[in-house]
């Protein structure tokens, strides 16, 4: 028996994705309690975030290296990245389908709804506006990205939003330099809840 034969091995990364899909299957299983299903869905999404931060970033480094070698299953780093991309796209599609078509409607039946700003009544909008101005706005720190600044260092395990700024958003439209479209990164603060009840 040749222990170096790739046919005897599963790729570590693809195997991990199969495990995460089993977690997602628990979210899809309607025999589980609704809030447990939501937890499983959140766990599968959180797992993918960490997977990309640790494992996929390592594969990217390997793929760019001149010393890249095949894993025990015989796959190169680039091949692994292609397989991962296909599997993750399928997985994320299943996550969103589970959330939008199954869990959110079930939560609505139980009286739990997630509303966006436009769906709030006047009193709720006023409350959320005050909350934003007093709590959220003071801790937001947009970081501009342009030719004069390097791409900002983003903290690990953070949610960031890319924002496109245009001339109409800027105060001095006459200044050509300021009137160019610009991009900024906005880190979503972790010290406040992303859902307000």
Residue whose token pair is 């869905």: 41
Is the pLDDT at 4 greater than 90, yes or no? no
Greatest Cα-to-Cα distance within the chain, rounded to the nearest angstrom: 76
* Cα 92 to Cα 21: distance, rounded to the nearest angstrom: 10
Q: Using CA of residue 126, residue 128, residue 133, residue 135, what is the dihedral sign? A: positive
Beta strands of 38-137 (E only): which ranges?
none
* Cα 197 to Cα 172: distance, rounded to the nearest angstrom: 39
What are the pLDDT digits (tens) for 9-34?
999 999 999 999 999 999 999 999 99
The mean pLDDT of 33-49, rounded to a whole number, is: 96
Query: pTM of the full predicted structure?
Result: 0.76
What are the pLDDT digits (tens) for 149-183?
778 888 877 888 988 887 664 555 555 555 456 88
Q: Give me the pLDDT at residue 171, please.
A: 57
Q: Give me the pLDDT at residue 66, please.
A: 82
Q: Give me the pLDDT at residue 147, please.
A: 79
Lowest mean pLDDT among 5-9, 40-44, 60-64, 144-148: 144-148
Residue 123 is given by DSSP the state H
Q: Give me the pLDDT at residue 175, please.
A: 54
Q: Give me the pLDDT at residue 164, please.
A: 87
The mean pLDDT of 107-126, rounded to a whole number, is: 95
Q: Which DSSP string corresponds to 162-174?
A: EEEE-GGGSS-TT
Q: Give me the pLDDT at residue 36, please.
A: 98
- Measured from the Cβ of residue 143, the count of other Cβ atoms closer than 10 Å reads 15
């Amino acid at each position: 028996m040749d222990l170096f034969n790739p046919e005897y091995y599963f790729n570590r990364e693809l195997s991990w994705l199969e495990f995460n899909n089993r977690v997602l299957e628990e979210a899809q299983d309607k025999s589980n309690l609704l809030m447990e299903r939501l937890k499983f869905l959140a766990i599968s999404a959180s797992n993918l975030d960490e997977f990309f931060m640790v494992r996929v970033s390592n594969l990217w480094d390997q793929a760019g290296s001149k010393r890249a070698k095949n894993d025990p299953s015989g796959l190169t780093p680039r091949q692994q990245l292609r397989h991962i991309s296909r599997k993750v796209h399928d997985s994320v599609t299943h996550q969103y389908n589970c959330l939008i078509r199954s869990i959110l409607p079930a939560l609505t039946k139980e009286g739990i709804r997630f509303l966006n700003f436009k769906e709030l009544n006047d009193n709720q909008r006023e409350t959320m506006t005050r909350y934003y101005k007093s709590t959220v706005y003071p801790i937001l720190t947009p970081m501009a990205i342009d030719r004069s600044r390097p791409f900002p260092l983003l903290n690990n395990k953070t949610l960031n939003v890319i924002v496109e700024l245009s001339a109409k958003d800027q105060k001095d439209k006459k200044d050509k330099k300021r009137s160019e479209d610009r991009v900024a990164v906005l880190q979503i603060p972790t010290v406040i809840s992303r859902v307000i009840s």
